[in-house]
Structure 1
């Protein structure tokens, strides 16, 4: 009987260890080089690798030209531009201009401007060059309205999140989703990127500090981040309490069996 109880204890310990996740699989941006000692606490710089997004067909852009006569023409829905932006999050086509199949947008007063193939800042310059034929003392502001990042899989709050900044990195995107769960596979996070006629899949390791030098660290509009669970999660079924409940039941049954057979 002692042997039976001993075996149950061993099983319980093994199950408990199986439900644990090593810190090496959880900690972000680790220094993978060994033997650095105190140097790992020194500031480290990494080259910035942030490719600019290139506008393409069917992108929706907001164009605002500040001029006494033109302001109302470009704020199409409301006098309050902040109200427009809140509407644009859900319905960007209501307040923006869609780049047509020829790469053009048709703007009030100044007419058509080719934007496909340009960055946002180049688009501002192109519109400004066209506007100066009609106006003086004006300012042009352009930004992308259909700018989202989707995060799915082993995160706290999966979803599709709008962003209106020029640069968004993968850590910021994951923070929008409430961070990864304890059982997320941080070493094989996939980024699905639309490349027009094909989709590109990029795999990044969030545990490795060298991620900061990877161009994929900075996201592109409409990227999709896919986070798979660790293989150990198949065993623990999302809640470690299930394991301990099973172990407790197993030990209780064994104890009852021992008492009955004495």
Structure 2
């Protein structure tokens, strides 16, 4: 009887050690997972400067859709330059709803067709340069007195794909959006998404550039990739655990566990 009690006591001590050990493993695993699941994990309070990249204006490209409005002291004379925003294109708004936008489409030769002024080369120029060019033409040809020209990009869009809640292509009316705002529009990264490896695909001078972002690091806040450009693609990679779940071995794990459990029960009962 004494031996039985002693064995039970030893068993309880052994079980207690196993439980404590198991809890320690879970605790350390949770700390590791917390770092991978949290934006800017352990980033100190500081000032992160990305303003040097915020206002860099991109040049216009083929298939860009422009809105160009002209105003002047003579409203009736200016109206003739505001009647040809007729080219339509389907766009997805930030809410994901398809809409119809109209404006001046940059053709394959890099030109737009503007009322009275005819074809204007805009490819490779910034919006400011196009604005100044049209203003100069209107003034030099004495078509308007003190013209005011405004140029906007109607199809500024970014794509967010991968492990996010709502993958989509988003058109951004403000023409300014950060990588975090884009992920917010897509419903944020899911629990299966890898915040340490978010891919950014960007086209520069006809070449596709692939850059990997680590959103658990505060370095992204001062990166040139913090603010997105038109036609950027964000892809959130799945965690390795998500890939493992989708493997062919995954369905057999419950079967294997059941066999092991049955074997243990059989050994214990027939001892």
- State the TM-score, normalizing by the size of structure 2: 0.70
Higher strand share: 2
**How far is the alpha carbon of 1:170 from its aligned partner?**
0.5
1:58 aligns with 2:82: no
Q: CA deviation at 1:177?
A: 0.4
| Deviation of 1:249 (Å) | 6.8
Q: For 1:126-175, what per-residue CA distance to the aligned partner results, in whole angstroms no more than 9, with x for missing partners? A: 22222333112543221112221111101010111111223211011111
Q: Which structure 2 residue ranges, 5 or more long, are not aligned? A: 1-7
- State the structure with bigger RCO (CA 8 A, min sep 6), 1 or 2: 1
Post-superposition Cα deviations, 1:223-252, rounded to whole Å, max 9, x if no partner, equal 111111111223455xxxx9xx88997898
- 2:53 equivalent to 1:44: no
Contact 1:157 1:178 in 2 (8 A): yes
Residue pair 2:92, 2:171 contacting (<8 A) in 1 also:
no
CA positional deviation for 1:90: 3.9
Tell me how far 1:187 sits from its aligned partner.
1.3
Q: 1:193: how far off?
A: 1.1
TM-score (norm 1): 0.72
**Displacement of 1:19 after TM fit?**
9.1
- What are the residue-to-residue correspondences of 1:56-95 with 2, within 5 Å? 56-66=61-71, 67-68=75-76, 69-70=79-80, 73-76=83-86, 90-92=99-101, 95=102
Secondary structure in 2 aligned to 1:101?
Answer: coil
* Cα distance in 2 for residues equivalent to 1:109 and 1:176: 41
Change (3 A) 1:186 1:71: same
What's the CA shift for 1:57? 2.4
- Alignment pair present for 1:144 and 2:153: yes
Unaligned 5+ residue runs, structure 1?
A: 33-39, 79-83
CA contact (8 A) 1:153 1:229 kept: yes
Partner of 1:115: 122
Change (3 A) 1:136 1:214: same
Q: CA deviation at 1:47?
A: 4.0
Measured in 2, the distance between the counterparts of 1:62 and 1:131 equals: 17
1:23 paired residue among 26, 34, 37: 34
Deviation at 1:75, TM superposition (A): 4.6
Residue 19 of structure 1 contacts residue 236 of structure 1 at CA under 8 Å; is this kept in 2? Answer: no
Instruction: List aligned pairs for 1:166-181, cutoff 5 A.
Output: 166-181=175-190
Contact 1:54 / 1:118 at 8 angstroms: preserved in 2? Answer: yes
Post-superposition offset of 1:208: 0.9
CA RMSD of aligned residues (A): 4.0
Q: Does the 8 Å contact 1:193/1:201 carry over to 2?
A: yes
Contact 1:64 1:74 in 2 (8 A): no
